[in-house]
Amino acid sequence: MTDGVRSTTRPGQRPREVATHCPYCALQCGMTLRTDGAAVTVAPRQFPTNRGGLCQKGWTAAELLDHPERLTTPLLRDPATGELRPATWDAVLARITDGVRAAQRGHGRDAVAVFGGGGLTNEKAYALGKFARVALRTRHIDYNGRFCMSSAAAAGMRAFGVDRGLPFPLADLGRADTLLLVGANPAETMPPLVRWLTEQRERGGKLIVVDPRVTATARLADLHLQPLPGTDLAVANALLHVALTEGWVDKEYVDARTTGFEAVRRNVAGWWPARAEALSGVPVADLEATARALGTAGRAIILTARGAEQHAKGVDTVTGFVNLALALGLPGRPGSGYGCLTGQGNGQGGREHGQKADQLPGYRKIDDPAARAHVAGVWGVPADELPGPGVPAYQLLDALGTDGGPRALLVFGSNPVVSAPRAARVESRLRDLDLLVVADFLLSETAALADVVLPTAQWAEEDGTMTNLEGRVLRRTALRPPPAGVRTDLEILAALAERLGGPAARQRFPTDPATVFGELRRASAGGLADYAGISWERVETSDGAFWPCPDADGPDSPRMFTDRFATPDGLARFHPVEHRPAAEEVCARYPLHFTTGRVLAQYQSGTQTRRVAALRRAAPEAFVELHPDLAHRLGVGDGEPVRVVSRRGEFRAPARLSPAIRPDTVFAPFHWGGAARANSVTNDAVDPVSGMPEFKICAVRVEKV
């Protein structure tokens, strides 16, 4: 913690104070912003998720509001020089309109694609999906949340009939007798959450962490399981095997509230702990101790996160832990359950209202005739004019500029040049486009490639709603208007809609966030993620409201599954899942496992945090974490530059020697671009259900530079 951070603002601004939320992770910590006309001050406030705490990223968030690299005028690429130059809004909107029309005239409506982000407000995510399907009439829209939550979402849908990251309040973590974190490192990715882990341990609870590295979170644990990357599913099946053998399965719960258990019981019968140990390296004694801690607890919670999910078998891996939770009778039981730690700021809401390739607002399926009819009625268009499902994010990016693929792409709130797997290939695809448009407030690596760059408002300059990792809808409040020359994403979409379809088309795209939210509520009504009863005023004057909430005068849903699951018969579904190897195994040429992750002071692709001085000092550059034994074999010293090479590419960074990692595994954070871009080497193999790429394991070699 530090003192409030000050950021210069425009002269003459009147003093003002607003209660709002941090622009970073899905905790959406409560904060207060104040401006006196010369500075913006950040202070934490009491809110259920952070209870008065902020991490370093939150404290320094205001520094970006008037950063010298802030974009405040549109940029247009000069065809003669190839440089991005300042331009008028009329000029850039005309260039986009002409480019969209040319692409669709020559190659059909699907020749234009849209790529969104998990940090957009609910209103912007909703409007973006509507814009793609109504103004552009393209099926090609997806978003960077596909790289974050898609495996857990798919597993939740097939087990529970609904996807909400935490189907219970975050405070439940502090009351759990046993808490199992699988592939999660909240001590670095969302530090205020550690307050709940501390409370849990102070109450006498047991914390167990599954992670290939001895992370900051693993150091807090009573027990740390350190598996080989990609073997979490073997661990899950072995834990359920032990629970069955020892009689810890809640038979009454299984019989009354689930279906399909017998097939899972037969499947895990062969997953004795010694077999899992041989694959994962986790000792039998630790597997048995973990199963015992879960099976004998009065209240137990299992949480998964990116470490378990970012695999080509991510859906099955999460399903393995869901099976374990169901067998123990945890979901829907007070103080117990299964959940997923959502990463991006609006990772939950961003996937509910139409950014995903196969979804309409309210978590409706786009190929469901009833869903299409309902949403089309709200939008005032014929249902048969809505396009069908698109393709998941990586498949979309990989098709750009190819024969039959999109020729134009509009990007809002994402930086795939750094964040996508096999990033050099994605960068090449972006360069092949006839038109690339990026809306952002900083010149990201993706924006630097664009034909048109649109300067957008920041989080403290526009109202809106966000949905945090608990499914809590909350209000983000503007402190000040955007600088002159900067527009909000809603204003940009409305202006483009008018140019593409005339004044009548613009009427379909209001620019007032409260109006858009009112429409979102109608579009989501009756869907799985039903916001109909969550009014703008309800979340403005409270700590938010949990969906589903169909009735404005009725209660919201902080705790789900207490009586039934969101399936047709109300029963949760077991699914037998089998471990399989990683999509790419080590060999003589590429003998090491490579995995990626995050560090405390940086966030996602680093576009924002790498420009904040305090965060840059805390984490100034990328690194490659090596076990000292491996470094000795390679002849590499601490701090010496190394090259990490896979079948797809390479990156370079200084070595960081640490016994916290397995000797057969190499780790690097993915926040940096250029020569230090870790995603240059990651595997673009994807989960067949979720479309999630295999970020967390591939085969590499490390060379001393």
CATH number of domain containing 251: 3.40.228.10
Domain C-terminal end among 341, 367, 402:
341
Cα–Cα nearest to 153, from 438, 357, 443: 357
How many folded domains does the chain comprise?
4
The answer as to whether 208 is a domain residue is: yes
Residues 319 and 208 in one domain: yes
Q: What angle do CA 183, 188, 191 make, to 5 degrees?
A: 110
The reported pTM is 0.95
> For 368, which DSSP code?
-
- What is the rounded distance in angstroms from the CA atom of residue 287 to the CA atom of residue 649? 37
Residues 178 and 286 in one domain: yes
> Starting at the edge strand that comes first in sequence, how are the strands of the sheet with 6-8 ordered?
6-8, 39-44, 30-35, 16-21
What is the pLDDT confidence band of residue 6, given thresholds at 50, 70 and 90? very low
Residues 262 and 311 in one domain: yes
Domain C-terminal end among 300, 318, 341:
341
**Tens digits of residue pLDDT in 464-502:** 999 999 999 999 999 999 999 999 999 999 999 999 998
Report pLDDT for 546.
98
Residues 373 and 408 in one domain: yes
Domain C-terminal end among 513, 532, 551:
513
Residues 33 and 49 in one domain: yes
Residue 604 reports pLDDT greater than 70: yes
Residues 41 and 126 in one domain: no
Report pLDDT for 1.
33
The answer as to whether 281 is a domain residue is: yes
**Tens digits of residue pLDDT in 358-400:** 999 999 999 999 999 999 999 999 999 999 999 999 999 999 9
> Starting at the edge strand that comes first in sequence, how are the strands of the sheet with 112-116 ordered?
84-86, 75-77, 452-455, 435-440, 408-412, 112-116, 141-143
- Alpha-carbon Rg for the chain in angstroms: 24
The answer as to whether 114 is a domain residue is: yes
- What is the rounded distance in angstroms from the CA atom of residue 139 to the CA atom of residue 109? 8
The answer as to whether 600 is a domain residue is: yes
The chain-wide mean pLDDT, for the chain, equals 96
Question: In which domain, by residue range, is 22 found?
Answer: 6-64
Residues 201 and 114 in one domain: no
Residues 480 and 336 in one domain: no
Cα–Cα nearest to 395, from 198, 577, 150: 150
- What is the rounded distance in angstroms from the CA atom of residue 358 to the CA atom of residue 150? 12
Report pLDDT for 15.
63
The answer as to whether 567 is a domain residue is: no
The answer as to whether 22 is a domain residue is: yes
The answer as to whether 575 is a domain residue is: no
